[in-house]
Amino acid sequence: MSLNHSFLIGSDESSELMLNISGLDANAKEVDSLCANFFAHCAKTGTPKFTCKLTIQNLQNLYSHLSSYSMVCDSTSSKTGRFIEVRDNYNEIISILEHADNNSLVMALQHLVSSKLTNNDINTILGRKESLDTYEKMLTEPDSYKEADWQRFFETNEWIFGYGLKYKFLKILQREAHISRTDLNGGNDVIADFLISDSRFTKIVELKTPTTKLFTKRQGRSDTWFLSSELTDAVSQILAQKANWEIESQSRNYTTDGELIHEDTFDTECILIIGSLSSIEGNEREKLIKRKTLELYRRNLKNIDILFYDELLERSRYIVRSAEVIEDKLLSAL
């Protein structure tokens, strides 16, 4: 079954320009007969003025040529129809994509994947695969790295925080954030490892090392196990940070770069990154009791998410792998 579609492209006072697409439908294997005909006629009398026939190859060349231009005529506008003008500004590009409808967004991603970059290329350019390898190496040699090493690593790879548990993208506002007022002698300063943002609200991140002990050697009653003082002390520490930041955030605060922190602070969410689930020791029954105790403990903490280093590693792997999955889906849709 063949197709034959005609569209009005534009008109002026005397003429109308039409586009006619004709040829085989999507079920046909041969597309040689598919073509486009541009023709103009008098808007009043219908008298033909010219006709131009374009083959599939001609259409591809035309599309490629038009795609290299910004189609914005009004310098005060940022978009006209489906043609978008960007000025090499990351925030502007993100803003445009956030407000794009699904079809437009998929088309843009298809063009990116098929014509320019694969998602593997993007991951490589961003250094994510290399960073993931570094993360895995650091976890296999945990005694070789101190808390400050992990701070530097996460600062240069904030994408590893990825999407929060409530699917809000997290970015670092300030490393080693001073979130309290000091005494007159400069003492009693409260410092969080990271102050981060989901673009609307601030969050606090506290880091301990992957080797931090999660349990003592003593089993409690009713199938419970005593948590380590390192873990409970870390929770107390982040609660103190939270309380101080609730007060300090009510005044104006700036990052090291002098940027005003616009995000609001209401009952701040906190993230504690500590230890590793793989460090849990004992026989199968003891491990089960410990995992249960740990899970019940962190689920019942209000606005504190406890993440373990090997859990965060799995989430980082997912962020990198998901790009490959998206690429495969987009390519199959082309």
Which pLDDT tens digit goes with each residue over 263-280? 777 778 888 999 999 999
Portion of the chain with pLDDT greater than 90, in percent: 23
Closest CA to 107 of 80, 79, 68, 67: 67
pLDDT at residue 279, rounded to an integer: 92
Residue 95: what pLDDT? 62
Q: Which residue has the higher pLDDT, 220 or 135?
A: 135
Element (H, E) at 247: helix 229-248
Mean pLDDT of 128-135: 88
Residue 244 has pLDDT above 50, yes or no: yes
Output 253 or 160, whichever has higher pLDDT.
160
Task: Write the CB contacts of 331 (distance below 8 Å, at least 6 apart in sequence).
Answer: 113, 114
> What are the extents of the domains in the chain?
1-69, 129-317
29-38, 86-95, 283-292 — most confident range:
283-292
* Cα angle: 257, vertex 259, 260; to 5 degrees: 145
- Quick check: 234 and 260 in contact, CB under 8 A? no
pLDDT tens by residue, 187-222:
555 567 777 676 677 788 889 999 999 999 998 887
Alpha-carbon distance of 57 to 63, in angstroms, equals 10
Per-residue confidence (pLDDT) for residue 252, from 0 to 100: 73
The CA distance from 84 to 82, in Å, is 6
Asked if pLDDT for residue 186 goes beyond 90, the answer is no
Question: Which range has the top average pLDDT, 11-25, 46-60, 282-296?
Answer: 282-296
Which of 105-114, 238-247, 287-296, 300-309 shows the lowest per-residue confidence on average (mean pLDDT)? 105-114
Q: Look at residues 160, 273, 247, 249 and name the one whose alpha carbon lies nearest to residue 201.
A: 249
Question: Is the predicted pLDDT of residue 161 greater than 70, yes or no?
Answer: yes
Max mean pLDDT among 6-20, 70-84, 164-178 falls in 6-20
* pLDDT given at position 272: 92
| Gap between the Cα atoms of 34 and 56, Å rounded | 6
Instruction: Kindly tell me if the per-residue pLDDT of 167 is higher than 50.
Output: no
Sign of the Cα torsion 72, 77, 80, 86 reads positive
